[in-house]
């Protein structure tokens, strides 16, 4: 048996059972289908008819889930992309509201680590990624620094590499904890009251969209086989980066 929901999407069924139902002194009998998708509560026409739920305002029903129209969502997405092309393009974003600032502990001392060897098979990929980051302004070549951390090249599914600075070698321990009071779920839900459109956003290279101030750039120095580079944007491997980004 195949069933579809209100958005005409096929529902995966685990089975069904026969039951009796009652609501507001109205009673009926029917089959209750169990889906493999959690938190999906739907009433079929037979249940609605037996319980006389056509006038929803008279039964005090609560809404436990919302299924949107995929077709409408796609058109809405296209409209937003056309209205805000600079925000929705594939280029690296740039936060202009503030610059990230890193604070050292009073007893912190500079830590300079030597570069790590790069496997020959990954050498060209690492150099391509260094060139890409430099062209985007994420990193800049420098000649001298009191601070330096080695890098780790991580192979990605698309065949390229991600360069990760290993700030666990010294910088992260030297940084002050950056505290940010995360809102409670109740506070978040309160701000949604009265809303009509709800969406989620996934920022590409989110932390790298945030600039760091001048005094923090020297701290974010990496040591590579091509020499020293410093970050102009906030790398995700810095201990205080998540709280700063919040």
The stretch 142-149 carries a mean pLDDT of 95
pLDDT mean across residues, the chain: 84
Tens of pLDDT, residues 188-225: 888 888 887 777 778 878 888 889 999 999 999 999 99
The CATH superfamily assigned to 120-245 is HIV Type 1 Reverse Transcriptase, subunit A, domain 1 (3.10.10.10)
Residue 61 has pLDDT above 60, yes or no: no
Q: What is the pLDDT of residues 84-136, one digit of tens each?
A: 887 777 788 888 888 999 999 999 999 999 999 988 888 999 999 999 999 99
Which pLDDT does position 38 carry in this prediction?
A: 62
Q: CA 89, CA 136: separation in Å to the nearest integer?
A: 15
Structural domain boundaries in the chain: 1-69, 120-245
pLDDT digits (tens, 9 = 90+) for 8-55: 778 888 888 888 888 888 888 888 888 877 656 666 778 888 888 776
Give every CB contact of residue 51 below 8 A, 6+ residues apart in sequence. 21, 22, 23, 24, 26, 28, 43, 59
- Express as a percent the part of the chain with pLDDT over 70: 89
pTM: 0.63
Beta strand pairing status for 221-224 and 210-212? unpaired
SS3 61: coil
């Amino acid at each position: 048996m195949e069933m579809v929901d209100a958005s005409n999407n096929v529902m995966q069924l685990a089975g069904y059972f026969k039951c009796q139902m009652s609501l507001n002194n109205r009673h009926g009998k029917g089959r209750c289908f169990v889906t493999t998708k959690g938190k999906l509560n739907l009433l079929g026409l037979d249940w609605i008819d037996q319980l006389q739920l056509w006038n929803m305002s008279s039964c005090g029903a609560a809404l436990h889930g919302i299924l949107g129209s995929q077709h409408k969502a796609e058109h809405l997405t296209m409209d937003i992309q056309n209205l805000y092309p600079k925000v929705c393009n594939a280029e690296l974003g740039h936060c202009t509201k503030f610059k990230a600032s890193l604070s050292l502990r009073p007893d912190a001392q500079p830590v300079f680590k030597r570069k790590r060897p790069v496997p020959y098979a990954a050498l060209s990929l690492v150099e391509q990624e260094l060139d890409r980051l430099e062209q985007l302004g994420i990193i800049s070549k420098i000649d001298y620094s009191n601070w330096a951390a080695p890098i780790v090249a991580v192979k990605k599914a698309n065949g390229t590499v991600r360069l990760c600075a290993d700030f666990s070698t010294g910088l992260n321990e030297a940084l002050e904890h950056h505290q940010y009071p995360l809102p409670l779920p109740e506070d978040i839900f309160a701000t949604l009251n009265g809303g009509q459109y709800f969406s989620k956003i996934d920022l590409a290279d989110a932390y790298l969209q945030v600039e760091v101030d001048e005094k923090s750039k020297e701290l974010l120095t990496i040591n590579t086989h091509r020499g020293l580079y410093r970050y102009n944007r906030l790398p995700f491997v810095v201990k205080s980066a998540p709280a700063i980004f919040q």
